[in-house]
Structure 1
Amino acid sequence: MSYGPLPKRIDPRKLAEREVRFESSVDVDQLPRLVECLALPDGKIEVDLQFSVDEQRIRTIVGSARGDLHMACQRCLEPVEVEVAATFNLAIAASEEAAKQLPRYYDPLIVEDEEIELLPVLEEELILSLPMVPYHQDCSIQTSFGDDAGAVDADGAESASEKPNPFSVLAKLKGQ
């Protein structure tokens, strides 16, 4: 097991053969594509990666990454802390054709060269695990969609001031 900073470039095939495990933390500012999705570029991501070979002789990377990040609340646009947790079960494939042959419970990681950069792989998994619509649980901002639309509160329920149905005339015609 290796503690300390994650290596920038790795040969996942060799690490899988040696069954290497990394436990480390990564500063969020080292993940530029993830930072683009955040309101504040601060925080740390705790990473646990296990490289191994399974019973079918498939080289795998199993692991998790978690951290508390600040995204923009979609109600008030202020920073809100969200917990991001990604778990992954990757199988190393040499090509697209080899990736199609993998069991369905693996996500393919296509490695054409001998070495890959590790941080972009982690970054991709973290981006996929971000919430689509982050918001404060106790946000005081209510959502409304203009003056002539019915007010909708934070839970999505319409308020008492409902507009008349414009299709009610059609319902009368249908009755004739």
Structure 2
Amino acid sequence: MNRNQVLPQVQLSSKPSALKRVDFCVPQSYKGSGFWGISELPRLAKEASTVVAGDGFNWALETHFEDSPGSEPHQAMDWGFQGWLHLICQRCLQDCAVDLTEKRRFILVATEEEADAYPPEDEEQEPLVVSQHFNLLETIEDEVLLSLPLIPKHPEGFCESYASVFGEGADEGGSDERENPFNVLKNMKKN
């Protein structure tokens, strides 16, 4: 590729079906953005506790070629998303909306060997093996799934207290002494 050559930029469709086969092997750059509802991302929909109209993600993607000293320019992909979905709060076990925002940069490579040779200490960008029939939708869905919190929970102070959820402390006038559950076993031993 000639370093002074101006490459065409292709506008990506925001339809999920159009992103299932993107040819990253041709010397052109891509740009796209849009909104995907949770229902358009089936693996993510399985993780959601409920799907409310309007739940989903705004996304934007752009690729460009960067010069690399001593070799051909390599293609970089900047993309990000911002959105929300509903998960079960692990503190109160109620539904909670979780906001997710992510920005990433990938260096597009043609083979696994190139990806393995990429310096692992570069935390700003990581290699992504692409092809002529690259499923961009699946890759983005993978990244959204990876950004889900391990333990989803409401912000501090938004959950009901533990006692009210599980019914403890509800009877103020009750006795403070509880019956020992092993008394039944003790009585069995006597017989």
Question: Structure 1 length as normaliser, TM-score?
Answer: 0.71
| Misfit runs of 4+, over 6 Å | none
* Aligned pair partner of 2:46 in 17, 36, 42: 36
Deviation at 1:142, TM superposition (A): 2.3
Specify every segment of 5 or more residues in structure 2 that has no aligned partner in the other structure, as ranges. 1-10, 164-191
Q: d(CA) in 1 for partners of 2:139 and 2:50?
A: 22
Structure 2 residue corresponding to 1:60, chosen from 76, 80, 84:
76
Query: How many residues in Structure 1 have an aligned counterpart in Structure 2?
Result: 140
Q: Structure 2 matches for 1:4-15, cutoff 5 A?
A: 4-6=14-16, 7-8=18-19, 9-14=21-26
Shift of 1:133: 1.2
> Structure 2 residue aligned with 1:70, among 78, 86, 103?
86
One of 146, 151, 160 as aligned partner of 1:140: 160
Quote the residue 1:19 is aligned against: 29
Alpha-carbon spacing, 1:62–1:133, altered in 2? closer, same or farther (3 Å): same
Counterpart for residue 124 of structure 1: 142
Question: Which letter maps to 1:141?
Answer: S
- 1:82 and 2:101 equivalent? no
2:92 and 2:162 in contact (8 A); partners too: no
Kindly indicate whether the alpha-carbon contact (under 8 Å) linking 1:13 and 1:59 is maintained by their aligned counterparts in 2.
Answer: no
Question: Aligned in 2, Cα 1:109/1:69: closer, same or farther, shift over 3 Å?
Answer: same
In the TM superposition, residue 29 of structure 1 has moved relative to its aligned partner by 1.2
- Per the TM alignment, residue 121 of structure 1 is displaced from its structure 2 partner at its CA by 0.7
Residue type at the aligned position of 2:102: A
Offset of residue 4 of structure 1: 4.1
Q: Unmatched 5+ residue regions in structure 1?
A: 144-176
Identity of matched residues, %: 25
| Aligned equivalents of 2:77, 2:147: Cα separation in 1 | 17
Query: Does structure 2 retain, via aligned residues, the 8 Å contact 1:13–1:92?
Result: no
* CA 41–107 in structure 1, closer or farther in 2 if over 3 Å, else same: farther
The answer to whether the 8 Å contact 2:39/2:45 transfers is: yes
Across the aligned residues of Structure 1 and Structure 2, the Cα RMSD in angstroms comes to 2.0
- TM, length-normalised to structure 2: 0.66
1:151-170 → structure 2 map (5 Å cutoff): none
